Structure 1
Amino acid sequence: MSARPVDEALAAVRLVDHHCHGVVTADLDRAGFESLITEGAAWPGISPFDSPVGVAVRRHCAPLLDLPRHAPAVEYVARRSELGWHEVNRRFLTAAGTDVFCVDTGYVPDRITTPQELAEAAGGTAYEVVRLESVAEAVAARGVEPGEYAETFRSAALDAVGRPGVVAVKSVAAYRTGFDLDPTRPTDADVTEAARRWLADGGRLADPVLVRHLLWTAVDLGLPLQLHTGLGDSDIRMHRVDPTHLTDWLHLTSGTVPVLLLHCWPYQRQAAYLAAVFEQVYLDVGLTLHYVGPARARAILAEALEITPFRKLLYSSDAYGVAEFHLLGALAFRQGLAELLQERVDADELSLPDALRIAAWAGGDNARRLYGLPSPDPVPAGEHD
């Protein structure tokens, strides 16, 4: 039986991954691999392989390592080591079918690929997303007087976004304070006093006033702003990262910069509401898709698309550390969206031309338009088959 039209279309889309990270450049033992396929901790007697994402790795990734589907975890890790990290990364990154990577370079607890190294392994192109908390913490580490912090941070942020290939900025305010913040721009005096406290105490940027200042600085920079929402590790206080907490801030920043809500689970419906009522809001369900796996991707995407305008859904993997996540994110997105759109076509709720347009938009065109990325090269005549 031949593939259905929407399946074929999404299988052929060369994806734009508008938010992701690098992958490790070292061979991993079982403990090291397991630590990278969970947002939680390694608990005695409980393996991340015995979870939805672990099962998805063994089901969908094992064949690319020349193993049978559902290969045992011990065989999977051994085969990974036998091939070596370079070959493992190449296989998964090329199989993902991603042409463009927008890479957050602000999280590097491991030795991971640079954006250029990631793109080279995949045969694609990379751009950079600047994490503003990292910029602020670098300013603090170099030493700055509290009264000079605001201007020094602004200048450092301008320098960072002026680097070649930077297309967006990102904030991890969700990890640091949550979104239930005063939405207004803080005064200079408030920023100076907050900087005095933070610079005296040290540590990560987690002062609510300075986080507000960072978000408003992002608006001033004029680039698309990516915001982590929902699913994350144990630093997250889930009730505080519902993106609807941003409603008043979105009113105040209307008409300024695009705001990209990342991940969103379990708040994909709330994110969809914001995308439906605020011109500047866009969303994805990256990270979520490889944790739920292809088996549940359709359900997550269905909720995200209940009311989201079709020009506002983007693809991201948010893959970090293991190249398997680049593959699983792409596979789950393609399969889940194809099932959803084809079902609506079969029910005559959507025309096939509309379904094909939506697939192309979400897979890459929306991100290219939003970030000002070049259009893909046209397929030469005679190479469509």
Structure 2
Amino acid sequence: MDGLTEGIPPLVDQYSHGAVHGEVGLGEFETHLAEAAGATGPAPPGTTFFDSRAGLAVRRWCPPLLGLEPHCAPVRYLARRRELGAYRAGHLLLRGTGIGTFLLDSRAPGGLTSPAELARAAEGRAHEVVRLEALAARTADTAGGTDVFLARTAEELYAAARTATAFASGAASCDDTPPGAAEVREAAGRWLRARRTGEAPADPVLGRYLLWSAVATGLPVQLHCPDPRRLTGFLGATASRGVDLVLLPDPWHRRPAAQLAATFPHVYADVGTRPGETLREAPFGKLLFSTGARGPAELYVVAARLFVRAMQRLMGDWVADGWCRAAEAGRITALVAAGTARRVYRLDAATG
């Protein structure tokens, strides 16, 4: 089965937040494992979040990258991490992911690697994806009023379009027409009067305004919407705008996202680490891989390993069932792993 992925290019991770800079203690590591496992609150008494699928995956795939045997005790693993130092351990882990290009969401808080820092650590390339809500929040922190805020937001957005690889929106829904100027001005004034410094806009009118403004730049736009079916009208309305849209839904809505990608020529969908849920729903050239990682470099390792192994199993089944030949399976894997992302985000033109 390993032969099915021979020749696969370095992965393109189309969405993550960056890795932590410094040492990660047991408590912080457990917190990140809890998030990866989808849990809230502490582990049940007498247990640990290493007792989860995410924890098992870390123990399986990460120790060998640091010179240890797979499945070593968590305490031994973290001791080895400290022994090597955060800088060296992070480099070994990131360089062992198989990821060659990272697209980082710009809304990430302090303490995580910037695109340049992640690229150096991984010996790869990294590009910024500008989160629209974060851009608006930064602009509002220095704007003196509604008119200044709207003018500066437009300026900042088009300035970002010259250097960013893509924009990202967290709008949960969007109409099939942009909001009117008066409606936007009223919503902006209401938000500016009530907001605190650093607070991003949650008003749906401002979300629609930012999203339609990003579409006008022509850059690809990531749509981080829990249920992408709420964006169906917007997807249809943007079909002739000459812009690619990438759906990054909650994990349990990946199938409908893939179905929407199959419906609209300019729409693509994220497969996360479980491509089997989506490859039956859309053409292979409409699907892209991401880790969604935030925090320890181990989460990049785990997500990449899970994706590759899932593709190996799926393509192995397809070859065994006569759906395709091994060479075709390798080409499909390469498309989802990197090829589609390189095309959609124009990474070859950016030498990424």
Length-normalised TM-score, structure 2: 0.91
Structure 1 residue runs without a partner (length 5+): 230-240, 290-299, 378-385
Does 2:132 align with 1:132?
Answer: yes
Once the two structures are superposed, residues 213-232 of structure 1 have per-residue CA deviations (whole angstroms, 9 ceiling, x without a partner) of 11111111210001224xxx
Looking at structure 1, the residues matched to 292 and 153 of structure 2 have their Cα atoms a distance apart, in angstroms, of 26
Once the two structures are superposed, residues 122-168 of structure 1 have per-residue CA deviations (whole angstroms, 9 ceiling, x without a partner) of 111121111111110011111242234333211111112223xx211
Equivalent position to 2:229, from 219, 232, 244: 244
Equivalent position to 1:170, from 147, 154, 168: 168
In structure 2, the residue corresponding to 1:314 is in which secondary structure?
strand
Contact preservation (8 Å) 1:9, 1:359: no
Equivalent position to 2:284, from 283, 300, 310: 310
Counterpart mapping for 1:141-290 below 5 A: 141-163=141-163, 166-173=164-171, 178-179=172-173, 181-202=174-195, 203-229=199-225, 241-256=226-241, 257-262=243-248, 264-286=250-272, 289=273
Residue equivalent to 1:331: 305
Contact preservation (8 Å) 2:191, 2:203: yes
Looking at structure 2, the residues matched to 196 and 28 of structure 1 have their Cα atoms a distance apart, in angstroms, of 42
The percentage of aligned residue pairs carrying the same residue is: 38
Residue equivalent to 2:339: 365
Once the two structures are superposed, residues 260-315 of structure 1 have per-residue CA deviations (whole angstroms, 9 ceiling, x without a partner) of 112541011101110110111111223xx3xxxxxxxxxx3222111211111112
Does 2:88 align with 1:114?
Answer: no
Residue equivalent to 1:322: 296
Once the two structures are superposed, residues 65-100 of structure 1 have per-residue CA deviations (whole angstroms, 9 ceiling, x without a partner) of 233322222222222222211111111111112211
Residue equivalent to 2:28: 32
In structure 2, the residue corresponding to 1:317 is in which secondary structure?
coil
Contact preservation (8 Å) 1:127, 1:167: yes
Contact preservation (8 Å) 1:137, 1:204: yes
Tell me how large the CA RMSD over aligned residues is. Answer: 2.0
Q: Aligned pair in 2 of structure 1 residues 206, 114: CA closer, same or farther (>3 Å)?
A: same
Residue identity matched to 1:280: H
Q: CA deviation at 1:376?
A: 11
Residue equivalent to 2:16: 20
Contact preservation (8 Å) 2:167, 2:222: yes
Looking at structure 2, the residues matched to 255 and 317 of structure 1 have their Cα atoms a distance apart, in angstroms, of 30
Residue identity matched to 1:57: V
Q: CA deviation at 1:4?
A: 4.3
In structure 1, the residue corresponding to 2:248 is in which secondary structure?
strand
Contact preservation (8 Å) 2:18, 2:108: no
In structure 2, the residue corresponding to 1:282 is in which secondary structure?
strand
Structure 2 residue runs without a partner (length 5+): none
In structure 2, the residue corresponding to 1:184 is in which secondary structure?
coil
Equivalent position to 1:6, from 4, 7, 13: 4
Residue identity matched to 2:23: D
Residue equivalent to 1:78: 79
